[in-house]
């Protein structure tokens, strides 16, 4: 992805004026997946990596960053096991890591005051009640119920207080 962005002149206000200079973002990514189908289960492994180059002509010129160029990277690795009748129970584990250039201008409001670096784990268990059964409205009606927990080893460039950002997410997903 290549994109030019004209930042607002007064971030956080209702102004509709943008700066004449533009910031340029270049994102490149890679992802992969392997899936194995057993007798009563599916095993899936996925990975993704994204690298972003930031040329901050507008932000740097207007004192919004201390660097004229920055980078941002993200890597994720997932493993998932779906098992049971119609593979109704899904267990997923994920490791994530985000890192980039230190910049007190861009990340001054972050926990560390200078870095986007974060990493941690996500665990999820989900139940899918209507995989291939003849439920009401099937196959147009689908549902998924789950619980997901995210815990941080590092958050916004620091390990201090990282666990205060851990989250529990309980959801009911419906699609028609």
* pLDDT on residue 151: 97
Checking if the pLDDT of 133 tops 70, the result is: no
pTM recorded for the entire structure = 0.84
- pLDDT higher than 90, residue 19: no
Question: What percent of the chain lies above the pLDDT cut of 70?
Answer: 91
Query: Edge to edge, what strands does the sheet with 118-127 contain?
Result: 2-5, 23-37, 41-55, 69-83, 89-100, 118-127, 142-154, 167-175
Q: Is 2 helix (H, G, I), strand (E, B) or coil?
A: strand
Taking the mean position of all CA atoms in its chain, how far away is CA 99?
Answer: 13
Q: Prior bond to 139 cis, omega within 30?
A: yes
pLDDT in tens, 79-88: 999 998 777 8
What are all long-range contacts of 94-100, with beta carbons under 8 Å and residues at least 24 apart?
A: 94/121, 94/122, 94/123, 94/124, 95/119, 95/120, 95/121, 96/120, 96/121, 96/122, 98/72, 98/73, 98/74, 99/72, 99/73, 100/52, 100/70, 100/71, 100/72, 100/73
Closest Cα partner for 78 from 27, 34, 118, 116? 34
| pLDDT tens by residue, 106-122 | 888 888 889 999 999 99
């Amino acid at each position: 992805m290549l994109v030019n962005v004209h930042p607002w002149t007064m971030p956080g206000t209702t102004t509709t004026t943008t700066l004449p200079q533009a910031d340029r973002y270049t994102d490149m990514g890679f992802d992969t997946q392997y899936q194995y189908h057993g007798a009563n289960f599916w095993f899936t492994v996925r990975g993704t990596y994204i690298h972003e180059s930031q040329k901050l002509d507008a932000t740097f010129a207007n004192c919004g960053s201390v660097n004229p160029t920055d980078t941002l990277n993200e890597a994720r690795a997932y493993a998932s096991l779906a098992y049971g009748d119609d593979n109704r129970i899904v267990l997923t584990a994920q490791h994530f890591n985000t890192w980039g250039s230190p910049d007190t201008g861009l990340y001054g409001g972050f926990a560390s005051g200078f870095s986007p670096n974060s990493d941690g784990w996500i665990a999820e268990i989900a139940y899918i009640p209507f995989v291939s059964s003849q439920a009401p409205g099937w196959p147009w009606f689908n549902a998924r119920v789950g619980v997901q927990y995210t815990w941080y080893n590092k958050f916004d460039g620091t390990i201090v207080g990282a666990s205060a950002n851990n989250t529990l997410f309980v959801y009911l997903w419906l699609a028609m």
